[in-house]
């Protein structure tokens, strides 16, 4: 019997549902402190860790801030199974009694960073000596300190050589047909400090040996003009006259071997670059000429000042930087890049710059000042300037002279300064103490023994 009931087919409809599949589970952290976590990430790590601390977090303020965050948020850097007990610093915090809140490094960070102390410079000279009949002439250069620790200073036609070690004074007398009108205008030691070159207002140049009291060489300029400055370098003797000419002399030849004409007016400044073939000359018109002594040609001309460029000093740690000082109408100390001719630094002193010297160890510049822009006034000071990034900051002002300090010289050990003023006095200053490795007592270099008995 067949079943007459129709068959019922059930159709099952599959419904597709869409859903997202995540690759990781992010837990819900309501108590997470992002600032504390960030501080922990940037915390100081051991040297074995490959991660390095960012450079912007290396300064003391940032380290102090991280230490403070660690203490506040109870950071613990102890191991679970420590092999050694961490020494207690003696301080603890109520929030973390098991962790010292302050330690030695923390105390240092909490303390105010110490300010840079200015070094002490003695304001009084260690020695003052009389120089009677010293000529008050801005364009003369009558002082030099040789390598053998001997100071040479000229008074009219007499040159005195004082040994700072033995305190012995020697006298060198030049003869002339006009003793009332002639005078020594400049002098300089040779690089070894054994021979002395002396020039006068008639263009006569004499090379002598003070130790043996012997004249080794004599020459004169054809123009018979006053010699304002003379310098003895490794390449020879250079002199500058009142007509604006620089001469090169050889002690073995009676006449000048080269004539360098770069100035229209008198030459009043000469300086040889240390370890370089360049010679700087300053003129009365404020022009500075850089000479290449190998070719005896002008390397560069720089209009450095409005009037007078007598004070010239090469920077000993920057071979291409020259310092120049102007007259009373200018009153500026300027730094020049000799290769480009650009001015890289400047300071206004409002007074005449008579001389300048560099200290390589202290990176400081010494300048002597005379007349000011106000007519009739004089400063008569020696100023020590700290030079950093071509900027000047005054360190000390030395006041002893009652007349403008015309000449400056530095001792061979670079610790003392000698200044000669129009007040007929020479002062010795202990400005740059030697380092500990070669420190010397000041009394070993100079002595407060006056030349009064020798000169008077």
In whole angstroms, what is the distance from residue 246 CA to residue 232 CA? 13
- What the block records as the tokens of 99 is 């962790």
Architecture of domain 140-352: 7 Propeller (2.130)
Residue pair 215/170 in contact (Cβ under 8 Å)? The answer is: no
Read off the pLDDT of residues 146-203 as tens digits, 9 standing for 90 and up: 999 999 999 999 999 999 999 999 999 987 767 777 899 999 999 999 999 999 999 9
In whole angstroms, what is the distance from residue 291 CA to residue 313 CA? 15
- What the block records as the tokens of 110 is 């909490």
Instruction: Confirm whether pTM is higher than 0.75.
Output: no
Read off the pLDDT of residues 229-283 as tens digits, 9 standing for 90 and up: 999 999 999 999 999 999 999 988 888 899 998 899 999 999 999 889 999 999 9
Residue pair 354/408 in contact (Cβ under 8 Å)? The answer is: yes
Q: Show pLDDT as tens, one digit a residue, over the chain (456 residues).
A: 445 555 545 555 555 555 556 566 667 677 777 777 766 776 655 444 444 445 444 566 777 777 777 776 655 555 555 555 555 544 444 444 554 444 445 445 445 545 556 788 999 999 999 999 899 999 999 999 999 999 999 999 999 999 999 999 999 998 776 777 789 999 999 999 999 999 999 999 999 999 988 889 888 887 788 999 999 999 999 999 999 999 999 988 888 899 998 899 999 999 999 889 999 999 999 999 999 999 999 999 999 999 899 999 999 999 999 999 999 889 999 999 999 999 999 999 999 999 999 999 999 999 999 988 776 678 899 999 999 999 999 999 999 999 999 999 999 999 999 999 999 999 999 999 987 544 444 434 443 334 434 443
Read off the pLDDT of residues 8-28 as tens digits, 9 standing for 90 and up: 455 555 555 555 565 666 676
Identify the residue whose tokens are 């500990």.
436
Residues 432, 437, 443: CA angle, nearest 5 degrees? 50
* Closest by CA position to 122, among listed 429, 362, 411: 429
Break the chain into its structural domains and give their ranges: 140-352
| Centroid of chain to Cα 371 | 25
Strand order in the sheet with 184-189: 184-189, 196-200, 204-209, 214-220
- What the block records as the tokens of 28 is 């819900």
pLDDT at residue number 434: 87
pLDDT at residue number 395: 95
Cα atoms found within 13 Å of the Cα of residue 179, Cβ hemisphere only: 5
pLDDT at residue number 52: 46
In whole angstroms, what is the distance from residue 366 CA to residue 402 CA? 18
In whole angstroms, what is the distance from residue 202 CA to residue 226 CA? 5
Identify the residue whose tokens are 């120049």.
324
Percent of the chain residues past pLDDT 90, beyond the cut? 57
pLDDT at residue number 180: 75
pLDDT at residue number 51: 43
pLDDT at residue number 383: 97
> Cβ neighbours of residue 21 under 8 Å, at least 6 residues apart?
none
């Amino acid at each position: 019997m067949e079943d007459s009931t129709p068959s019922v087919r059930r159709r099952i409809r599959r419904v597709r549902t869409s859903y997202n599949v995540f690759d990781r589970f992010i837990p819900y952290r309501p108590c997470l402190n992002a600032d504390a976590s960030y501080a922990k990430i940037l915390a100081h790590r051991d040297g074995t860790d490959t991660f390095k601390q960012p450079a912007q977090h290396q300064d003391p303020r940032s380290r102090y801030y991280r230490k403070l965050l660690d203490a506040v948020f109870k950071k613990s850097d102890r191991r679970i199974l420590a092999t050694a007990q961490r020494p207690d610093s003696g301080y603890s915090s109520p929030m973390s009694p098991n962790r010292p809140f302050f330690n030695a490094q923390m105390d240092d960070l909490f303390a105010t960073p110490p300010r840079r102390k200015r070094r002490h410079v003695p304001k009084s000279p260690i020695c003052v000596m009389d120089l009677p009949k010293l000529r008050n002439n801005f364009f003369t250069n009558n002082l030099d300190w040789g390598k053998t620790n001997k100071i040479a200073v000229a008074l009219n036609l007499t040159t005195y050589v004082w040994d700072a070690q033995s305190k012995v004074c020697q006298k060198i007398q030049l003869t002339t047909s006009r003793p009332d009108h002639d005078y020594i205008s400049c002098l300089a030691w040779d690089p070894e400090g054994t021979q002395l070159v002396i020039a006068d207002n008639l263009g006569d140049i004499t090379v002598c040996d003070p130790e043996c009291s012997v004249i080794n060489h004599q020459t004169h300029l054809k123009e018979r003009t006053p010699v304002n400055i003379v310098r003895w370098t490794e390449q020879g003797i250079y002199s500058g006259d009142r007509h604006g000419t620089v001469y090169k002399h050889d002690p073995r030849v009676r006449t000048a071997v080269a004539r360098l004409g770069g100035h229209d007016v008198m030459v009043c400044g000469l300086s040889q670059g240390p370890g370089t073939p360049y010679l700087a000359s300053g003129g009365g018109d404020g022009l500075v000429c850089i000479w290449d002594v190998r070719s005896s040609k002008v390397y560069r001309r720089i209009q450095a000042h409005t009037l007078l460029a007598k004070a010239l000093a090469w920077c000993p740690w920057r071979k291409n930087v020259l310092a120049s000082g102007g007259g009373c109408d200018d009153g500026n100390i300027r730094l020049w890049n000799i290769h480009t001719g650009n001015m890289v630094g400047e300071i206004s002193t409002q007074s005449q710059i008579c001389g300048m010297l560099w200290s390589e160890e202290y990176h400081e510049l010494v300048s002597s000042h005379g007349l000011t822009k106000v007519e009739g006034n004089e400063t008569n000071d020696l100023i020590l300037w700290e030079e950093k990034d071509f900027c000047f900051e005054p360190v000390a002002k030395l006041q002893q002279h009652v007349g403008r300090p015309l000449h400056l010289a530095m001792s061979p050990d670079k610790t003392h300064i000698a200044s000669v003023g129009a007040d007929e006095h020479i002062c010795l200053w202990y400005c740059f103490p030697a380092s500990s490795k070669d420190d010397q007592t000041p009394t070993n270099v100079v002595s407060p023994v006056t030349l009064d008995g020798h000169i008077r």
